[in-house]
Amino acid sequence: MFSRFEFRDKEIYKHLFRVVIPATFGYLGLTLFDVVDIFWIEKLGAEAVAGVASAGFIMWALNSVIQVTASGATSLVGRFHGAEERSNAWRVIIQSAWLSLFISSLLALFLAPHVAAPFRWMGLSGESAQAAVDYFLTLLLFSPVVFIDMLAGSIFNGYGDNKISNIIMIFCLILNAVADPIFMFGWCGFKAMGVKGAAYATVLGHLVSCILRIYFLRKRSYIPPFRYFLNFKFNYASSIVKIGTPNFLSSLIWSTVYPFLTRLITPFGMIPLSAVGIAHRLENFPYFIAMGFGVGMTALVSYYKGKGETDKIERVYGAGMRVSTLLILPYVLLFLFFPYQVAGLMTSDLNLIDATAGYLFVIGVFELFMSWENVTSGVFTGLGLTYPTLLINLPLTIGRIPLGWFLAYKKNMGVTGIWWAISFTTFLKGMGLYVLYRIYKRKTDNFTKQ
């Protein structure tokens, strides 16, 4: 399926691991925080867990907007880094920063007055609805900080030098985890803020991370002196948006599908909805490994494209697919053969364990293809060739809604039918993107034409 391993590929693997390992550990740190986060939130009750899980769906949609600038910046910075054109990389970064501030501020101003509407539509009420509003509104108002922090991390990825960035992430996640119970339950003399306290802890982590990342970016001359940010043009803005928009749309659709699925889930009660929130935090372990490889693909492919060494792209892709598959496989085995034990790590509620285990088993069947999806998407982003991926991602992601409804209600499979709709479309996306990669490799003569 992939080109045969040769000794010359050692260069590829070395370069790949230099980018992927820090990214993966950073993302896994994020996952560990989520585990700690849900541990504390569960102390507030199932309604709070359901509310935060529902708010998380909307936050995914909000955070997907950063892909408009982050994906474009990563790809173009990597390309200019490979071509040794630092001044052009700086121009991309300046324009990405201003675009990020503009977009995030606009979103906060527009969405804040209507913050409760999506949760009413999902079917939440009472304590769960209030928890969702408290959590989401707090994060929404500080979205410019979150956006700049995420962009700063993407700039490190573009340079293929993300070790310090991910050390900062892990440090700030620890800070976040420590602040969680302090803000939520009023420890150390602070006012008890409940779910809202968890959101403030997240904001604190992003703020400190943003400051530290900017400091090290400047120290390594990855960004220009700050006065340059006041004198800029938008000559790369269209390229940034062109590359980033398809990734944004794919991520947005993926995120907004879950509120629709939530509407299908809530008639079966709050237990299945809470189970989704817990299961997603467990699934984050393999998901973020796959995302780490996606980051690696983008950084390496854009770098080699900038250097004019497109013959190495196939070798990079093969290395990424092989290693990511091997690393995801243990999670597949855990989800398939020990789902109850894994779910029991997160909660002692037997009903919640049963519901979470059911989700994990079904998702585990096609979990490997989630990795394929992320790795292949990373290659397309590195090439700056993101629009074709919409042909696969959009219809299959949206298709989860009618398929979930059909299986759950028409075939009387209940929530298990919704889980199968998610799992099967993951398989189709992973295979579809792989086939698309092969088509474009031939069409562009090994990516020498575009």
Both tokens of residue 103? 């977009």
Position 418, amino acid: I
Query: Residues 313, 305: contact at Cβ < 8 Å?
Result: yes
Assess if residue 450 is contained within a domain.
no
pLDDT at 2: 45
Question: Which tens digits make up the pLDDT trace of 418-447?
Answer: 999 999 999 999 999 999 999 988 888 877
Task: State the sign of the Cα–Cα–Cα–Cα dihedral 280, 284, 287, 288.
Answer: positive
Phi and psi at residue 244, in whole multiples of 5°?
A: -80, -30
Position 43, amino acid: K
Q: Could you write out the DSSP letters of every residue in 258-278?
A: HHHHHHHHGGG-HHHHHHHHH
For Cα atoms 320, 292, 56, give the angle at the middle one, nearest 5 degrees.
140
Q: Structural domain tally of the chain?
A: 1
Q: What is the dihedral of CA 167, 173, 175, 176, to 10 degrees?
A: 160
pLDDT at 225: 93
pLDDT at 29: 66
pLDDT at 7: 41
pLDDT at 34: 64
Assess if residue 2 is contained within a domain.
no
Both tokens of residue 407? 């299986």
Range of the domain at 257: 7-443
Assess if residue 448 is contained within a domain.
no
- DSSP alpha helices (H): ranges in 65-194? 67-82, 86-111, 117-122, 126-141, 143-158, 163-185
Q: Which residues contact 69 (CB under 8 A, 6 or more apart)?
A: 96, 97, 99, 100, 103, 147, 151, 240, 241, 244
pLDDT at 8: 55
Assess if residue 109 is contained within a domain.
yes
Assess if residue 79 is contained within a domain.
yes
Rg (alpha carbons) of the chain, rounded to whole number: 21
pTM for the model stands at: 0.77
Residue 311: alpha-carbon gap to chain centroid: 29
Assess if residue 316 is contained within a domain.
yes
The packing angle between helices 350-365 and 367-383, to 10°, is 60
Assess if residue 274 is contained within a domain.
yes
Both tokens of residue 235? 């000559």
Comparing CA positions, the residue from 398, 403, 261, 275 lying closest to residue 339 is 275
Comparing CA positions, the residue from 104, 112, 105 lying closest to residue 248 is 104
Query: Residues 149, 206: contact at Cβ < 8 Å?
Result: yes
pLDDT at 432: 96
Q: Where are the beta strands (DSSP E) in 37-102?
A: none
What per-residue string of b and e applies to 228-252 under the rule 16 or more CB within 10 Å gives b? eeeebeeebbeebbebbbbbbbbbb
Both tokens of residue 268? 């079966």
Q: Which residues of the chain have a pLDDT value below 70? A: 1-8, 26, 28-35, 449-450
Assess if residue 449 is contained within a domain.
no
